[in-house]
Amino acid sequence: MTDIFQLTRKLVDIESVTNHEAAAGEFLFETLSPLSARFSGHVERCPVEADRFNVFAHWGEPLVTLSTHMDTVPPFFPSREDEDFIWGRGAADAKGIIASMIAAAEGLLESGARNFGLLFVVGEERNSAGAYAAARNPRGSRFLINGEPTENKLALASKGILRYEIEARGKLAHSAYPELGESAIDKLLDALQEIRKIALPEDPLLGPSTLNIGVISGGRAPNVVPDAAVAEIAVRLVGDPAPVRQAMIDAAGSRAEVREILCIPAINFERLDGFETSIVAYTTDVPAFGDSWGKPFLLGPGNIHVAHTNEERVSKKELLAASSIYRQMVRKLLGDA
């Protein structure tokens, strides 16, 4: 049987920051191939772009699909473990989830279950490229169990995301004579100051929208009046994006150009009897899938509060429990199907 802890560490130790997932994909293909052959299944690489691909394995008709992502945020750091946790980039988000799903699949197959699949995608941490590609090539799945860190609770709702680039333009000049130039950085800072004042919407279930200025870059040297500056912003949506879009444009005014990069809506999930529930504030691949892979559910081991941090880790107890929970969910949903 699959050693979930060992598999988690092997996955964590493969660097797979978004846009560089090929090594992780090859490892998953090689890991799933024996399981596919042993139980008369099928495993394939599904092209996304250039050398990026999803990995899809199924046994019989895939009425229920377990899915999560193989990419991580930077920076990479390798695995380690102690008595209670496995540490490392992606341990919680979402390589431990991959290991639990593969172990669940093996357990289901050992017990004679069929008609389910595993789908591991690229790009979730940036633009859901893998999920969008999969949505264009559905395989008949009626239920999608998407894995993200929920502490093994079934999420009832998740926030969306609205990503922007805010770019200001200026005119180069020697900093000793600033009156001869036009500072793009000053313009950008003024625009960001107004953007920070935007009154964001709230939702009774999801709570408030939030705004994060995640990246600021610009300028050429300390003694040069800068001619360009840009900021990258993410707004966590709880409802209609239209008011936020207009507020962003109004706040920037003539100081900077507002470019929308990505919009993924907030989403509500259905309950599934017998499972503890929660609400999550992050965005997932689920909206990118749409209904192409069936009715979605969201659940996985790990705490989102440590994902994307230098303290990323996942509980060993939760990894083991997740494998059992995934088996229960697949059996229940196969019965419904």
Q: Which of 190, 118, 205, 199 is nearest to 156 (CA)?
A: 205
Residue 167: DSSP 8-state: E
Q: Which of 124, 148, 312, 318 is catalytic?
A: 124
Report residue 8 as tokens. 């988690």
Strand partners, 207: 203
Q: Spell out the residues 6+ positions from residue 219 whose beta carbon is closer than 8 angstroms to its own.
A: 184, 185, 226, 228, 229
Give yes or no: 124 in active site. Answer: yes
> Nearest-CA neighbor of 154 among 264, 301, 11?
301
Reading the block at residue 145, the tokens are 């169990």
The per-residue DSSP string of 107-157 comes to HHHHTT--SEEEEEES-TTTT-HHHHHHHTS----SEEEE---STT-EEEE
The SS3 call for residue 221 is: coil
**Maximum distance among all alpha carbons in the chain?**
78
Q: Is residue 244 within 8 Å of 163, Cβ to Cβ?
A: no
Cα separation of 15 and 135, whole Å? Answer: 26
Task: Please list, in sequence order, all residues whose beta carbon lies within 8 angstroms of the beta carbon of residue 76, skipping any fewer than 6 positions away.
Answer: 15, 17, 89
How would you classify residue 162: left for phi > 0, otherwise alpha for psi between -120 and 50, otherwise beta? beta
Which residue numbers are catalytic?
A: 124
